[in-house]
Structure 1
Amino acid sequence: MLKLGGYINILIAIGHIVGLFWADKMFEVTGIGIEMSELAQINSSFPYLLTIFVSIVFFIFGLYGLSADNKFRKLPFLKPAIFLIAGIYLLRGLGELIADGIQGTNSTTETMYSLFALIIGLLFLFGGLKKWILTKEKKQRTL
């Protein structure tokens, strides 16, 4: 689960970088075109820099997922980071679904993004629980 979550995050990071070649279209498709246009009015490089920053965050999330699954070297604060990543994704997914439901502004695209965030959050949550909580209990039972 952690490995899958890690690879998905790395793919999302790569997608952000590749999407910069068609930035205006990518911003429009993802529903942030207006916000990025406003940001570009402050400085034309801000939307690109923000996208690169977000890509780096996704890449780091991916590395943490791979590290927790022993596919990459052990990163610092691994256990809390995995559960923090899970929390961020779950909050994003549930928060958006709840807010859209209350406001009545559900769109198919935004609902799909929220469900995708929930799935990734559950991969990190259940992967972390399996690695640290359930494995610990299993070890204690065998002693």
Structure 2
Amino acid sequence: MLKIGGYINFLIAFSHIVGLIWAEQMFKITGIGKEMIELAQINSSFPYLLTIFVSIMFTIFGLYGLSADDKFKKLPFSNLGVFLIAGIYIFRGVGELIFDMWRHEVCTISKTVYSLISIAIGVLFLCGGLKKWKPTKGITNAQSNRRS
């Protein structure tokens, strides 16, 4: 599960970078066109820099997923990182849906799909982390190591 979550994050990061080729269309499709136009009025490079920053964050999330699944070098605070990433994704997905209902906005199909994808990735990280770091019943790892 962590490996799948990691690769999905790499795909998202890559799509952000490729999307910069058609930045205006990408921003409109993802529903952030208005915000990016406002950001560009401050400085024309801000939307691009923000997209690159977001892509870097998705890459880091991907690395943590692969690291926790032992497919990549061990990263610091792997267990904390995995659960933090899971929380970010789940909060983003559920929060968007609740916020739209609270504001009595019409929830568009794209917003709903993005929220569900976010929740799904969060669940991948959460379940993968719980599976990887499941506490053993009765005997702790330290007690098990002493007996060996």
Shorter-chain-normalised TM-score: which range?
Answer: over 0.9
Q: Taking structure 1 as the reference length, what is the TM-score of the superposition?
A: 0.94
CA offset at residue 140 of structure 1? 3.4
CA offset at residue 137 of structure 1? 1.6
Cα distance change on mapping 1:139 and 1:63 into 2, 3 Å? farther
Match for residue 44 of structure 2?
44
Cα distance change on mapping 1:114 and 1:45 into 2, 3 Å? same
One-letter code aligned to 1:140: I
The two structures, once aligned, show a CA RMSD in angstroms of 1.4
What CA deviation, in whole Å up to 9, does each residue of 1:9-63 have, x standing for no partner? Answer: 0000000000000000000000000000000011100000000000000000000
Question: 2:32 aligned with 1:32, yes or no?
Answer: yes
Question: 2:114 aligned with 1:109, yes or no?
Answer: no
Extract structure 1 runs of 4+ deviating beyond 2 A: 138-141
What CA deviation, in whole Å up to 9, does each residue of 1:82-131 have, x standing for no partner? Answer: 00000000000010011112222211100000000000000000000000
One-letter code aligned to 1:73: K
Cα distance change on mapping 1:52 and 1:139 into 2, 3 Å? farther
Q: Tell me how many residue pairs correspond in the alignment.
A: 140
Distance in 1 (CA, whole Å) between partners of 2:138 and 2:6 is 26
Q: Taking structure 2 as the reference length, what is the TM-score of the superposition?
A: 0.91
Percent identity of paired positions between Structure 1 and Structure 2: 66
Return the structure number with greater helix share: 1
CA offset at residue 138 of structure 1? 6.0
